Amino acid sequence: MRTALVPLAWLALAPACAVRRAPAHAELATVAAQGDALALADALEALIARGEDTPADREYAYAMVRRHDEDTVTATYARAVVTGRLVEQKGLLAANLVPAIERFARR
């Protein structure tokens, strides 16, 4: 019985241990390394404006802004922007993120 649970435990933990995909555009990784959430949001917005963003870019930016839990107006705005762009891409699959956007907007 115990040996049957081991594979199930690995399956349950696999998503938590998954490595985030790198962005399709290296410029996002460069900006993310600076630790400036607003600059990262601006870089993502620039890619979107040029029509060059990919789903991996949006997911990467979201993962990076979530990693930095800075409690400033600019960081909160950046998290709302990036989260909104991820929700825009995923549609109803990201409906669970809408409360986060609302929370950031109220701050």
Domain that holds residue 95: 20-106
Beta carbons of 60 and 29 less than 8 angstroms apart: yes
Per-residue confidence (pLDDT) for residue 71, from 0 to 100: 86
Per-residue confidence (pLDDT) for residue 59, from 0 to 100: 94
The arithmetic mean of pLDDT across residues 64-88, rounded, is: 89
CA atoms 42, 45, 51, 54: torsion sign: positive
The arithmetic mean of pLDDT across residues 13-40, rounded, is: 77
Please give the Cα distance from 62 to 71 (Å, whole number). Answer: 16
Q: Is residue 1 part of a domain?
A: no
Q: Match 């460069």 to its residue by tokens.
A: 30
CA distances from 36 to 21, 86, 99 (A): 20, 18, 23
Q: In terms of pTM, does the model score above 0.75? A: no
- Burial label, 68 (beta-carbon count in 10 A; 0-12, 13-18, 19+): middle
Q: Is residue 2 part of a domain?
A: no
Q: Match 């607003």 to its residue by tokens.
A: 38
- As a whole-number percent, the residues of the chain with pLDDT over 90 amount to 48
Number of folded domains that form the chain: 1
Q: Is residue 10 part of a domain?
A: no
- Judged by average pLDDT, the poorest of 8-12, 29-33, 87-91 is 8-12
Q: Which of 44, 76, 46 is nearest to 58 (CA)?
A: 44
Q: Is residue 48 part of a domain?
A: yes
Higher pLDDT, 91 or 27: 27
Q: How far is CA 39 from the centre of its chain?
A: 14
Beta carbons of 41 and 83 less than 8 angstroms apart: no
